Amino acid sequence: MLRRKARRVQEDDDPLDAAQERRVRAVLALGGVPQADLPDGVQQVRLRLLERAAKGDEAPRDVSAWAAVVASNLAMDWHRAKRRQERVGERLASLRQLEHPSGEDTSVLSLAVAQGLDELPDQHRQVLVLRFFADLPVRGIAEELGIPEGTVKSRLHSAVRALRDRLHEDEVV
């Protein structure tokens, strides 16, 4: 019933606008959700938003931030459920065109970052994407994930340090 309602609502009033949907897709993809499953993931986010409304909960103050957190959790669930996880680095390498203003050097850098992302523990990857892609503040991440701020900082610190070390070792920066 919820799916039928979702379809009806989607036709009349999509809870996610185009930009938000795009952002959700990106967070899912950065979290390792395979390309083919991205539409399903976006739909899951829509449904969560509708469920929230159906329960009478207040709408999120920042739908984009909320949707990004939900998407990042979904990405982690995807991996935990042993569904096929797409390595971001491989997916990026297979793309024929990568829009880079500065050409090949930037492409090498993007691949290195993508490969570094793949090597991060899921929880570190999640907070990294929420902080530096979805631009959530540390406090916001902590509140949404229901974990202490110190934990968020610790995970971010570990993630960024690992990526920095990798990029410097690879001599791409």
Partner 1 sequence: MTAERNQYDGVDALLAAITDEPLPEAALADAAFMAEHRAATADVALLREQLGIIGHALSQPEPQPEPEPAPKPVSSLRPAPRRHPGLRALAFGTLATAVVATMITGLAWLVAHNGGMNADSSSSADQGAKTSVGSAPADGSATPGALADPELYVACSRLLVEGTVTEVKPGSDPRKRITLAVTRSYRPAHGPADVTVVLAAGAQPAPRQGQHVLVGVPKGSDTATLWVVGDDAVATDSAAIVEALAGPGTTTCPTG
- Rule CB under 8 A: choose which of 27, 65, 74, 120 binds partner 1: 27
Q: What is the DSSP string of 69-95?
A: HHHHHHHHHHHHTTPPPPPHHHHHHH-
**Of the candidate residues 50, 76, 108, 138, the single one contacting partner 1 (CB under 8 A):** 138
Separation of alpha carbons 108 and 64, rounded Å: 30
Look at residue 140 and give its three-state secondary structure. Answer: helix
Q: How far is the CB of 77 from partner 1 (least distance, A)?
A: 18
- Between residue 37 and residue 66, which ones bind partner 1 under the rule CB under 8 A? 38
Q: Region of 32 please: left (phi>0), alpha (psi -120 to 50) or beta.
A: left
Query: Out of 10, 14, 26, 60, which residue is the one contacting partner 1 (CB under 8 A)?
Result: 26
Grouping H, G, I as helix, E, B as strand and the rest as coil, residue 133 is coil
Residue 106 CB-half CA count within 13 A? 7
Window 72-91: contact mask with partner 1 (x via CB under 8 A): ----------------x--x
- Interaction site with partner 1 (CB under 8 A): 22, 25-30, 35, 38, 88, 91-92, 95-100, 106, 109-110, 113-114, 117, 128-129, 131-133, 138, 153, 156-157, 160-161, 163-164, 167, 173
